Amino acid sequence: MDRVYNFSAGPATLPIEVLQEVGEEWLDFQGLGMSVVEISHRSQAYKALNAEVEARFKSLLGLGDGYRVLFLQGGATTQFGMIPLNFLPDGGSADYVLTGNWSVKAQEDADRIGQTRVAASSAEAFRYIPPASEQSYDPDAAYVHITSNNTIYGTQFHEWPSVGDRPLVADMSSDILCRPIPAEDFALIYAGAQKNIGPAGATIVVIRESWLEKRVDRNLPVMFDYRTHIKKDSAYNTPPVFTIYMINLVLKWIEGLGGLAAMAQRNQKKAATVYEAIDRSGGFYSGYVRPEDRSLMNVTFTLPDDEVTAKFIAEAGKEGLVNLKGYRSLGGIRASIYNAMPQAGVERLADFMDRFASDNG
């Protein structure tokens, strides 16, 4: 069976080279005579793997010894509560920038634990990222939380908020490692693996150790305390070994392409290919978001009506272009073109879009 081009928002497509490497060593990991999913997480082989992937992650982000990288479970959604449990003091408040459903959910969970404040919002329709002129930060905010890329609506921060000395926290689940970022400007970055850097099962948390020293003095359950996982190198309980192993292979693949600068060029070219197809359609396709805030990862657009949209999805599927249906609350089309989507995939999509518009416009 020929492989399709999978535009799913997650779990998402993975590099074919990585999948092939997994197949080659599936039965025998590093000469141990067993699969990576069979080795003990207490073994030296796993400890070495965990140390390797943490070092590789920090290297790609340009971070030094002042940061730790954790591989946790529970999805990015667990971080919605874990962050305020550790860093939102009683009587204090945290600022949240609302740019999509997931940022709203993050704020809602923080509200269950303490007080929050909306520092900026595009909540009327989430068609844009609030510019600096619409952002206002509490001078005493415990931290500022943003969602860097919005999978449902297709917006992305292209200029990072200027928050002064307030700790900046970012959910980067859908654009982690898609481009260089000023990683040292963030006190904490978290991301579910299953969109851009691996299969489902692990959540990456990059945390500044000096901020962790200022955590709230709460008697938390051990699994909700970041210190627990740092002390045990992400192996307090059985970690998601296979996902971590896969992340390591994907990180090596990114390194082999030239790192994050090369990845950004690759992603910009892919995104431009699809957005240009939208823009040259004469209005047959209508982009959902403001052009200057368009995401490199999730391209969203609408067609004239639901019947034409359904036809588009059906005919695209016949050409090996799958999982293009927009999020249920938004409709339309969503093409998720994460790191592993090849240029050939977006070119086939753009060619199909041109032909479909010509035949149905």
CATH of the domain at 312: 3.90.1150.10
Choosing from 228, 256, 284, the residue where a domain stops is 256
**Mean pLDDT for the chain overall:** 96
pLDDT band (50, 70, 90) for residue 361: confident
Of 58, 195, 270, 325, the catalytic one is 195
At 191-239, the pLDDT tens digits run 999 999 999 999 999 999 999 999 999 999 999 999 999 999 999 999 9
Residue found by looking up tokens 């025998």 in the block: 28
Here the CATH number for the domain that contains residue 52 is 3.40.640.10
Q: Are residues 276 and 221 in the same domain?
A: no
Calculate ∠ Cα 10-15-16, nearest 5°. 120
- Average pLDDT for 343-347: 98
Choosing from 223, 256, 289, the residue where a domain stops is 256
**For position 328, what pLDDT does the model report?**
87
- Average pLDDT for 129-153: 97
Catalytic annotation present for 102? yes
Q: Are residues 102 and 64 in the same domain?
A: yes
Phi-psi region of 164 (alpha: psi -120 to 50; beta: other; left: phi over 0): left
Choosing from 204, 234, 256, the residue where a domain stops is 256
CA distances from residue 351 to 111, 115, 169, 280, 297 in whole angstroms, order as listed: 46, 49, 39, 12, 19
At 275-315, the pLDDT tens digits run 999 999 999 999 999 999 999 999 999 999 999 999 999 99
Q: Are residues 217 and 342 in the same domain?
A: no
At 263-272, the pLDDT tens digits run 999 999 999 9
Q: Are residues 116 and 39 in the same domain?
A: yes
Residues 293, 280: Cα–Cα separation, whole Å: 19
**For position 341, what pLDDT does the model report?**
97
Question: Total structural domains in the chain?
Answer: 2
Q: Is the pLDDT of residue 1 over 60?
A: no
Identify the domain containing residue 264 by its residue range. 5-15+259-360
At 20-51, the pLDDT tens digits run 999 999 999 999 999 999 999 999 999 999 99
Q: Are residues 337 and 249 in the same domain?
A: no
Q: Are residues 132 and 206 in the same domain?
A: yes
**Do the bridges between strand 144-147 and strand 67-72 make them parallel or antiparallel, or are there none, so unpaired?**
unpaired
**For position 239, what pLDDT does the model report?**
95
Residues 246, 265: Cα–Cα separation, whole Å: 23
At 173-186, the pLDDT tens digits run 999 999 999 999 99
Of all residues in the chain, the percent with pLDDT exceeding 70 is 100
At 158-176, the pLDDT tens digits run 999 999 999 999 999 999 9
Of 58, 95, 109, 171, the catalytic one is 171
Q: Are residues 78 and 188 in the same domain?
A: yes
**For position 227, what pLDDT does the model report?**
96
Q: Are residues 287 and 345 in the same domain?
A: yes
Tokens of 349: 């999509």
Q: Is the pLDDT of residue 63 over 70?
A: yes
Q: Are residues 139 and 277 in the same domain?
A: no
At 119-134, the pLDDT tens digits run 999 998 999 999 999 9
pTM above 0.85, yes or no: yes
Catalytic annotation present for 26? no
